[in-house]
Amino acid sequence: MARSTLFRAVLALAAAALAAGAEGARGRAGASRLLAWRGGRTEKVAVIGSGNWGSAIAKIVGQNVLDKPGFDKEVRMYVYQEKVNGRDLTEIINTEHENVKYLKGVKFTENVVACADVGEAAAGATLLIFVTPHQFLGSLCKPIKGRCARGARACSLIKGIEFDANGPVLISDIIKKKMGGMDVSVLMGANVANEVARDEFCESTVGYRKEANGRAWQRVFDCPTFRVSKIKDVAGVELCGALKNVVALGAGFCDGLGLGGNTKAAIIRVGLGETIQFCKMFYGGIKDQTFLESCGVADLVTTCFGGRNRKCAEAFAKAGGKSGWDKIEKEMLNGQKLQGTITAQDVAKVLRKKGVAHKFPLLSKIHQIAFEGAPVTDIVKF
C-alpha cells in the first residue's frame, strides 16, 4: 500500500518516540497488530455533541466503524434540537446526512444517526465521545450514565478547563466524576474541524490512563487522513488543548494589529513555554514528549494561524477592543461559542488565586486585553 511521505515521516517519528513514551498508530509492532481488533465484545460508539468539531469527528468515526471489525455499525450522535428553516436539525441530519448548520457541505455516512434525546443517543454505548461545550456537561451526564453500557469508557474532545478552590480541574476528571468513576481519555491535536471534515491530512493525540483504553480510542479515531498517536499523559494532552486557545487570542491580536511573523512566532513560543510551565505547576506525571506531539506544538501552530479564536481575536483587535465578545461570536461564529475566551477567564482566576499570575505574563495579559479593557496594542508595545 502506497503511503505518503508525511505519513512515513510520522511513522518514523512515532517509532523514535516510542522509547520516549509516545506511541504512534503503527509503532514497532506494525499496523496490523497494534490497531487490529483483538476480539472481545463489540464496541458501540456514541458521539455526545454535534457542533462544528463534533460533526467533523462523527464523520470520521462513522466511516471508521464501517471500515473496521469489532464495532456496532450504528453511531448515534446527540444533537441539541433546534429548527433550521422550520425543520428539526435531527430530521435534516437523518435524511440528508449533513449537519447543515454547523458543518455545511460535508456528508456523514448513513450510519451516523442524530438523536435529540441524549439518553437515547447513549443507549448501549460502550465508548462515549464527549464533544460539547463543557458548560453543558452537568445536564448531559446523568441521562447518559443511566443508559450507556456497563463498563463504558469515555473520551473527551472538549477543549477547556474548570477550576475549584484548589486550582484547575480537568474536564476529563469532571466527566469521570459525573460518570461514576468511568475511565476517561482525551483526544487533542492539530485538527481544525473544517479541514478534518474535508479529509485533509492531520494528526491527533490520544492521552490515556489505561493502555487498553488508549488503544481502543486509537482504533476509533485513526484513519489514513486523521493519524492518531497516543501517550500516557491525560493532563498534559488535555491542558495543551485548553491553553492553546488562549494563546491563539494573543496571535489574533497580533494579526489584527497587522504585525509580522516574528512577533507572532515569539507569542507562539512564549505561549508554549507558559503552557509547559502551567502543566508542570499544577499536575504531576507530565511528559516532555507531550509538547512535541500533535496536541502540543502542532495544535498550537494551527490554532494560532487557522482557528476561530485567532479569527475572532483579530476582529476584536481591529475594532480596537471596543466590540464585545458576544457580538463578535454572534457575527462570526453562527451561534458557536469561543473556547479561548472562557478558558482565558478560568486560567486568569486560577493564576490569581494561586498568586502566580506574574509567572504567566502572556496568558495574564491576553486576559487583561480581552476582559479588563487593557489596550490591544499593549501586547506589542515593546
Binding of a copy of itself by 273 (CB under 8 A): yes
Binding of a copy of itself by 269 (CB under 8 A): yes
Whole-angstrom distance, CA of residue 189 vs CA of residue 228: 9
The helices-and-strands tally (H runs, E runs) of the chain is 16, 13
Closest CB to a copy of itself among residues 273, 320:
273
Annotated binding-site ranges: 49-54, 136, 159, 193, 308-309, 337, 339
Binding of a copy of itself by 36 (CB under 8 A): no
Report in angstroms how near the CB of residue 110 gets to a copy of itself at its nearest: 25
Q: How far is CA 41 from CA 126, 161, 218, 286, 326, in A?
A: 9, 33, 17, 33, 46
What is the phi/psi pair of residue 366, to 5°? -60, -40
Binding of a copy of itself by 372 (CB under 8 A): no
Q: Which residues are CB-contacts of 50 (< 8 A; sequence separation ≥ 6)? A: 58, 77, 78, 79, 80, 89, 93, 99, 102, 114
Report in angstroms how near the CB of residue 229 gets to a copy of itself at its nearest: 11
Q: Write down how long the chain is.
A: 382
Segment contacting a copy of itself (CB under 8 A): 121-129, 179-187, 298-306, 339-347?
Answer: 298-306
Binding of a copy of itself by 39 (CB under 8 A): no
Of residues 166 through 195, those in contact with a copy of itself by CB under 8 A are: 190-192, 195
End-to-end Cα separation, the chain, in angstroms: 53
| Amino acid sitting at position 70 | G
Whole-angstrom distance, CA of residue 169 vs CA of residue 160: 10
244 is catalytic: yes
Report in angstroms how near the CB of residue 379 gets to a copy of itself at its nearest: 5
Given a contact cutoff of 8 angstroms between Cβ atoms, the answer to whether 300 and 270 are in contact is no
Of residues 320 through 339, those in contact with a copy of itself by CB under 8 A are: none
Binding of a copy of itself by 365 (CB under 8 A): yes
What cell numbers appear for 9 in the block?
Answer: 515521516
Of 44, 176, 244, 311, which residue is the catalytic one? 244
Report in angstroms how near the CB of residue 2 gets to a copy of itself at its nearest: 7
Residues that are catalytic: 244
The residues of the shown chain that bind a copy of itself, judged by CB under 8 A, are: 2-13, 16-17, 190-192, 195-196, 198, 200-203, 224-225, 227, 259-270, 272-274, 276-277, 288, 292-294, 297-299, 301-302, 305-306, 358-362, 365, 378-382
